[in-house]
């Protein structure tokens, strides 16, 4: 049997041929492009979810995962008929249960803020850290708004964006929500296993609410450690904290040891900021007997803090994202696929919208 080369068999799966004529390359750190989802980027110009200087004792696994650019976005306006990306990832590897387009790819949305549509995905080259791809082309020249989503499970060492030489480049329209939403959690929070970055639930919510999301999901390591809580507490004027760590919390004992302390650290600097605790999605049947449900431990902490006078803490039961018997919404029995992430965003959007309105961050 001949080796399968799908590009020779299906012209719709061929890599796009790149024509570099008439293009000008731009560094997104230059100022007109708006880099969002990376809190320390404006100061450090690094595509990293953590700052370069960390307090001693931080979990090295978490520090490594912080190099993944989950939740990072670039927004801008241009009338360019073409947009190309030149990308150098930190690694050429892909996730075991994820498409390379989700791990290492970028995807692009365009249109009126809040009503953006998906346009295209930049395609990584398997086994190569670097690639160049054309992510936008049209015959009609007009000013458009763009949102570029970064890889979920890989880092970005270098990124350049090419526009037509005569194209106008402008800053993006302002977001409706002026303060960031901070979400902490697990591999699901990070975006595993979305097929491309824009389908992860945090990126879906960012578009729907027109809010910047700071994604601090750490695959397998959302263990409610105090070092990460201390770091998140330094974020100025957050609109909302979301805690989505049940899936990595291991045991009831560790939850009782760690989660109240995590919340205390956030509350010390943000006494009035709303905190929403979200428990994990419905797992598939292969996990029901092997992994404990710890939802009630989180509910207990929520009720105790509410009874103690914290009127700014809220709870959402993640087991209601979809019906337990509907087994089509995950990849491996745990991590959502694109339909699972869509359901998560649909359930969370009205809750977050109500909270953002209640606390004056959204009209």
| Structural domain count, the chain | 2
* Domain of residue 282, residue span: 181-358
CATH number, domain of 163, equals 2.60.120.260
Contact 164, 81 (CB under 8 A): yes
Last residue of a domain, one of 170, 199, 225: 170
Same structural domain for residues 274 and 240?
Answer: yes
Classify residue 3: in a domain, yes or no.
Answer: no
Same structural domain for residues 313 and 192?
Answer: yes
Same structural domain for residues 199 and 164?
Answer: no
Measure the CA–CA gap between 90 and 104, rounded to whole angstroms. Answer: 9
Local structure of 72: helix, strand or coil:
coil
Classify residue 6: in a domain, yes or no.
Answer: no
Q: Which of 79, 84, 70 has its CA nearest to residue 23?
A: 84
CATH number, domain of 283, equals 3.40.50.1110
Q: Is 254 exposed, middle or buried (0-12, 13-18, 19+ CB in 10 A)?
A: middle
Classify residue 228: in a domain, yes or no.
Answer: yes
Q: Any idea what DSSP says for residue 151?
A: P
Same structural domain for residues 103 and 24?
Answer: yes
Q: Which of 327, 85, 305, 101 has its CA nearest to residue 193?
A: 101
Please give the radius of gyration of the chain, using alpha carbons only, rounded to the nearest integer: 21
Q: Is 169 exposed, middle or buried (0-12, 13-18, 19+ CB in 10 A)?
A: middle
Last residue of a domain, one of 110, 142, 170: 170
Last residue of a domain, one of 126, 145, 170: 170
Measure the CA–CA gap between 105 and 96, rounded to whole angstroms. Answer: 15
Classify residue 250: in a domain, yes or no.
Answer: yes
pLDDT for 46: 97
Q: What is the mean pLDDT of each run of 10 residues along the chain (363 residues)?
A: 70 77 94 96 97 92 98 98 97 82 97 96 92 96 97 97 98 98 98 98 98 98 98 98 96 97 98 98 84 92 98 98 94 95 98 98 95
Structure tokens at 212: 């910047």
Same structural domain for residues 163 and 217?
Answer: no
pLDDT for 16: 75
**201-209 vs 338-358: helix axis angle to the nearest 10?**
40
pLDDT for 332: 92
Classify residue 5: in a domain, yes or no.
Answer: no
Same structural domain for residues 327 and 347?
Answer: yes
Same structural domain for residues 46 and 136?
Answer: yes
pLDDT for 51: 98
Classify residue 8: in a domain, yes or no.
Answer: no
Same structural domain for residues 82 and 211?
Answer: no
pLDDT for 1: 58
Measure the CA–CA gap between 190 and 95, rounded to whole angstroms. Answer: 13
The beta-strand segments (E) located in the chain are: 23-26, 34-36, 73-78, 82-89, 107-110, 117-121, 130-137, 144-149, 156-164, 169-170, 181-185, 213-217, 240-244, 275-278, 313-316
Same structural domain for residues 123 and 187?
Answer: no
Beta-carbon neighbour count of residue 293 at 10 Å? 14
**Whole-structure pTM value:** 0.96
Measure the CA–CA gap between 129 and 287, rounded to whole angstroms. Answer: 35
Classify residue 15: in a domain, yes or no.
Answer: no
Same structural domain for residues 269 and 195?
Answer: yes
Same structural domain for residues 158 and 203?
Answer: no
Classify residue 289: in a domain, yes or no.
Answer: yes
Same structural domain for residues 135 and 210?
Answer: no
């Amino acid at each position: 049997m001949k080796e399968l080369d799908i590009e020779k068999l299906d012209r719709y799966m061929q890599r796009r041929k790149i024509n570099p004529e008439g293009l000008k390359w731009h560094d997104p750190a230059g100022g007109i492009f708006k880099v969002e989802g990376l809190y320390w980027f404006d100061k450090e110009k690094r595509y990293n979810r953590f700052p370069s200087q960390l307090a001693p004792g931080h979990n090295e696994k978490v520090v490594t995962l912080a190099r993944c650019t989950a939740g990072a976005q670039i927004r801008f306006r241009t009338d360019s008929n073409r947009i190309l990306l030149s990308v150098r990832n930190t690694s050429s590897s892909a996730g075991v249960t994820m498409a390379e387009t989700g791990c290492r790819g970028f995807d692009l949305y365009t249109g009126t803020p809040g009503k953006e549509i998906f346009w295209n995905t930049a395609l990584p080259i398997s086994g190569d850290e670097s690639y160049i791809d054309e992510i936008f082309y049209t015959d009609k020249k007009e000013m458009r708004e763009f949102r570029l989503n970064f890889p979920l499970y890989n880092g970005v060492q270098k990124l350049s964006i090419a526009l037509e030489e005569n194209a106008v480049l402008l800053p993006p329209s302002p977001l409706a929500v002026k303060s960031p939403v901070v979400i902490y959690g697990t591999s699901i929070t990070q975006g595993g296993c979305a097929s491309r970055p824009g389908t992860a639930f945090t990126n879906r919510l960012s578009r729907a609410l027109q809010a910047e999301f700071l994604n601090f999901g750490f695959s397998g390591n959302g263990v409610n450690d105090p070092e990460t809580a201390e770091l998140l507490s330094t974020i100025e004027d957050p609109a909302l904290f979301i805690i989505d760590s049940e899936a990595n919390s291991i045991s009831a004992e560790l939850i009782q040891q760690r989660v109240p302390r995590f919340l205390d650290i956030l509350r010390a600097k943000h006494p009035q900021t709303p905190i929403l605790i979200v428990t994990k999605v419905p797992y598939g049947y292969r996990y029901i007997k092997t992994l404990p449900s710890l939802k009630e431990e989180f509910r207990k902490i929520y009720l105790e803090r509410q009874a103690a006078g914290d009127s700014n803490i809220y709870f959402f039961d993640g087991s209601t994202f979809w019906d337990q018997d509907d087994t089509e919404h995950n990849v491996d029995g745990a991590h959502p696929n694109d339909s699972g992430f869509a359901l998560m965003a649909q359930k969370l959007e009205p809750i977050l919208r109500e909270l953002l309105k209640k606390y004056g961050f959204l009209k």
